[in-house]
Structure 1
Amino acid sequence: MTNFDTNRLGRITNWMQRYVDERKYAGSSLLVKHNGSEVYFNACGKRSVEDDLDFQRDTVVRIYSMTKPVTTVALMMLAERGLFHLDAQLSEFLPEFRNMKALIPGAIRLDQIQDAPTPTLHQLLTHTSGLSYPFNPGVLPKAMDEQDLLFKPDQGLLADRVRDLARLPLAFQPGTRWEYSVGIDVIGRVIEVVSGQPLDQFLTQEIFEPLGMQNTAFSVPAGAGDRFASLYTPLAGDAMALNSAETGGDTLRLVDQARRSPFENATTFSGGGGLVSTIDDYSRFAEMLRNRGQVPGQRLLGSKTVDYMMLNHLPGDIASMGPQSFAEQPMEGTGFGLGGAVVINPGRTRVPGSMGDFSWGGMASTFFWIDRANDLTTVFFTQLSPSSSYPSRAELKSLVLGALIE
């Protein structure tokens, strides 16, 4: 029988408060469930330093890339209806991705290209498509940065941004490397084409309403503005510069203030990074995955589909596929499933864990993981960008598992 040592859980409270006291995080919250029952919750610090508002259980935060598992679940719901196969080429849904080109190995200019196959849906889901992110190093990311192709909440229709992306070459031949990318933003557009609905409507009807996720959306929900947290950065420059070491004098520099944020009224439905949520909402989503596609009274996915999502879909670990993108969590011993990372060798990750742990985080240092071996879900919320600023995810996992007694 496994259970939690309450004294050891208390270490988490001290750790969270230390991050606030040291002005690393303005505030944070943590929710841990074991066998579906809450075993730990704590919130501390401020959701808004400038307005002296506490970080609370119902605080709404930007979950950024923790949107990706949600969008992936949406696509798999459509796949279960027999509407496509994951090996389908993207151009079957989005004709603008026909006749693709990829940069040649070692390219230093955007015109150094060769013919390339169109990425498949599976390659988009697993970040092996050849797409990238503006904050990665390289020729394609530089071009994306110049065009501001980050799928921010105020950048207009998703269809238009995806068409802009299709005009650029791929960073590499699909399937040959792993590079963190906007691939799941493109998947969001595929969902719109296949379902015939805007992405926000599909997610609301098919996922949020069935799971009771009333505070999760692309825009801060009506009436929740005073619960929306501000976003901070320790960097002197761009808060999204994951590889930057340009620190400033203020470790909590305000970069996106509640009530003045583009997330108050989003025009771009970013399936890769656009959702806001509360910790209880996201915990319901994580519990659905831990329970192999269902919560009491609702089944979103078949159990075998969820099992499939949580397998490693790469030939080995992420590190073996030559990633040049940022590493906000260990790539050694970690593979990638559909929508999240999968632990395939706990000893190589340098963090305690179980085989098959499924996890992902967001740019503002949010994080979740599902440990099905121990029937455990953990969701951590804070609002500091970039997520690579501190080793909080590794520390947190050690703290939670250190309190689990068998």
Structure 2
Amino acid sequence: MGKPISIGNKQQINIILKKIIFIFFFFTSISNVYSQFEKIETFQKNLIEDEITASNVALVFKDSEILYHHIENSKNPNAKAIDNNTIFPIWSMSKPITIVAMLILHEKGLINFEDKVSKYIPEFENLKCKGDDGIYKCKKDLTLFHLMTHRSGYKYYGNPELFTSTLKYGNLKDFASDVANHPVEFEPGSKYEYGINMAILGRVAEVVSNKNFYEFLKFEIFDPLEMNETKFHLTESDRENFQALYINNETIKGFTNELDELTYDINNKAYFGGEGLVSTLNDYSSFCQMLLNGGTFKEQKIISQESIDMMTKPYSKDDDNGFEIGFSFFVLTDPDRDGTNSPKGIFGWAGYHNTHFWIDSENDLYGIFMTRARDFSFEISKDFRRAVYSSLKSEK
């Protein structure tokens, strides 16, 4: 007959059993989480395996917490691994930041969107238009609203007319002066043409605020949102964290640090609000959180919900894909046409080197995807959203 178990031994056994039960439920929970978001991770892996991007990172935030955050690093020996300090050029994801800056000025009563641009930059007084019979003086005045909605008639220009170049310009004053002397493609306001509008708005902000555009953004947006790595320049130490470009098109394939296109020189003050910023996942996450929270971040109000409603109101139709365009944001108006299970009303934007984000107020959610790869593809955003909403559906 065995010895009776002492009280001390019973307590030890209970402790061991509790630990076993905890470990079991912990790993079961981890397994369930992995299973739920496996489609998102597979999406990230497929981008690398299909040689669309190299290393990439995705984040999904829902109901006041990070639901998913995963870095998928390429196994290519020439690829650069991503970590929490990685800096990305965000290109056109600079535009929503500039839009928020203009809404701040609007809420302060310092600008009206119906104002003529020439009120702030006199060179735009004699704006010229392109017509069937040649160049003529525009019949309509260019307004801030036209710039906000990409209905100005300005587009993006290649060489030798490339305007958003930090090799060509050292400040926004000279840039805006040259742009004002360039004819627009059509009468302002008559149709949508994606272009250099936000860079012009940056100069307007400088004139109104008496600060250079970076100083204005830092004071009004970056510092309150704790976006300490979001800027128009790179220091030497920043360069160590700057993601290399993976390029795969008909003529070039591989990794390079030679195709920045912008100098990111700390002494250059041509702060292009449509394409010039660099940022990190954490920084841009704060910006998204502010938008999701109705313009507030950690009890600091940046803009009002009314301003967010204004900037996400559709002003122009996009291609036949279910989206319309607000103040430099896409707005989903036809979810069936989009085909990703994304709900009506989500809004967001993307950048030239395949950074993508969207805000979903209905589900209290935002998603961010960052990599540095060309050529640009809207399919990345669609596949990401499809994976996210499919994962959320499986949760229910």
- Counterpart residue number, 1:374: 363
Q: 1:33 touches 1:376 (CA, 8 Å); kept in 2?
A: yes
Q: 2:59 aligns with which of 18, 27, 31?
A: 31
Call closer, same or farther: CA 1:297–1:16 in 2, change over 3 Å.
Answer: same
- Aligned partner of 1:89 among 94, 112, 116: 116
Q: Distance in 2 between matches of 1:233 and 1:173?
A: 37
Structure-2 separation of matches of 1:281 and 1:49: 28
Letter in 2 for 1:396: F
- 1:106-185 aligned within 5 A: 111-134=134-157, 145-152=159-166, 155-185=169-199
- The aligned counterpart of 2:96 is 69
For residues 83 and 168 of structure 2, what CA distance do their matches in structure 1 show?
Answer: 27
Mapping 1:198-277, distance limit 5 Å: 198-220=212-234, 223-235=237-249, 247-248=250-251, 250-254=252-256, 256=258, 262-265=263-266, 267=268, 268-277=270-279
Equivalent pair of 1:288/1:294 in contact (CA under 8 Å)? yes
Question: Which runs of 5 or more structure 1 residues have no equivalent in the other structure?
Answer: 135-143, 236-246, 320-330
C-alpha distance in structure 2 between counterparts of 1:49 and 1:79, whole Å: 49
Aligned equivalents of 2:225, 2:315: Cα separation in 1:
27
Query: Post-superposition shift, 1:199?
Result: 0.4
Residues 31 and 70 of structure 1: CA distance in aligned 2, closer, same or farther (over 3 Å) = same
User: Which position in structure 1 is the counterpart of 2:49?
Assistant: 21
Distance (Å, rounded) in 2 between the aligned partners of 1:68 and 1:24? 24
State the alpha-carbon separation in 2 of the partners of residues 213 and 12 from structure 1: 26
The separation in 1 between residues aligned to 2:204 and 2:107, in whole angstroms, is: 15
Query: Is 1:359 matched with 2:348?
Result: yes
The one-character-per-residue Cα deviations of 1:232-261 (angstroms, maximum 9, x if unpaired) are 3223xxxxxxxxxxx12x533525378x97
Q: Residues 189 and 298 of structure 1: is their aligned pair in 2 closer, same or farther, counting only changes over 3 Å?
A: same
Tell me if the contact between 2:233 and 2:265 (Cα under 8 Å) persists in the aligned partners: yes
- TM-score, normalised on structure 2? 0.85
Partner of 1:296: 298
Q: Deviations over 1:45-66 (max 9, x none)?
A: 259964x531122210000000
Q: Could you report, residue by residue, the CA deviation over 1:264-308 in whole angstroms, capped at 9, with x for unpaired residues?
A: 536120100100000010011011001110012211011211122
- Alpha-carbon distance in structure 1 between the residues aligned to 2:75 and 2:161: 32
Q: Work out the CA distance in 2 between the residues paired with 1:223 and 1:153.
A: 22
Identity of aligned residues (%): 28
Cα deviation per residue 1:321-367 (whole Å; 9 max; x = unaligned)? xxxxxxxxxx5321111231111111223433111111100000110
Contact 2:135 2:183 in 1 (8 A): no
Distance in 2 between residues matched to 1:12 and 1:202, nearest whole Å = 37
Q: 1:399 aligned to 2:395? A: no
Whether the 8 Å CA contact 1:32–1:376 is kept in 2: the answer is yes
| Inter-partner Cα distance in structure 2 for 1:211 and 1:84 | 23
Q: Structure 2: any 5+ residue segments left out of the alignment?
A: 1-31
How far 1:166 moved relative to its partner?
A: 1.1
Is the contact made by 2:322 and 2:332 (CA closer than 8 Å) also made in structure 1? yes
Q: Deviations over 1:367-399 (max 9, x none)?
A: 0000111111001101113313x7211111111
Q: Following the alignment from structure 1 to structure 2, what is the Cα–Cα distance between the partners of residues 48 and 188?
A: 39
Structure 2 residue aligned with 1:342, among 319, 331, 338? 331
Query: In 2, distance between residues paired with 1:99 and 1:257?
Result: 36
Distance (whole Å) between structure 1 residues aligned to residue 55 and residue 296 of structure 2: 31
Alignment deviations for residues 109-128 of structure 1 (CA, whole Å, 9 cap, x no partner) = xx443533222111101111
Residue of structure 1 aligned with 2:84, choices 57, 68, 73: 57
Relative to structure 1, is the Cα distance of residues 295 and 382 closer, same or farther in structure 2, using a 3 angstrom cutoff? same
Instruction: Describe the shift of the 1:311–1:5 C-alpha distance in structure 2 as closer, same or farther (beyond 3 A).
Output: farther
Q: Which residue of 1 aligns with 2:71?
A: 43
Write the mapping of 1:380-391 to structure 2, written as runs, cut at 5 A. 380-388=369-377, 391=379
Secondary structure at the aligned position of 1:380 is classed as strand
> What secondary structure does 2:223 align onto?
helix
CA contact (8 A) 2:230 2:283 kept: yes
Which structure shows the bigger proportion of residues in helix conformation? Answer: 2
- Tell whether the 8 Å contact from 1:63 to 1:275 is kept in structure 2 after alignment: yes
8 Å CA contact 2:166, 2:262 repeated in 1: no
Q: Is the 8 A contact 2:80 2:244 kept in 1?
A: no
Paired residue type of 2:45: Q
Deviation of 1:168 (Å) = 0.9
Mapped to 2, the partners of 1:209 and 1:221 lie a distance apart of 19
Aligned CA distance change for structure 1 residues 219 and 251 (closer, same or farther; 3 Å): same
Q: Larger radius of gyration, structure 1 or 2?
A: 2
Q: Distance in 1 between matches of 2:200 and 2:75?
A: 31
Contact 1:151 1:185 in 2 (8 A): no
| 1:223 CA drift (Å) | 3.3
Residues in 2 aligned to 1:65 and 1:31: alpha-carbon distance in whole angstroms: 19
Amino acid at match of 2:143: T
Aligned residue-pair number = 362
Alpha-carbon distance between aligned partners in 2 of 1:183 and 1:38, rounded to the nearest angstrom = 34
Q: SS in structure 2 opposite 1:210?
A: coil
TM-score by length of 1: 0.83
Distance 1:153 1:283, change over 3 A: farther
| C-alpha contact (below 8 Å) 1:74/1:203 kept by paired residues | yes
CA distance in 1, matches of 2:77, 2:149: 37
- Partners of 1:154 and 1:47 in 2: CA distance: 38
Deviation at 1:207, TM superposition (A): 0.5
Other structure's SS at 2:73 match: strand
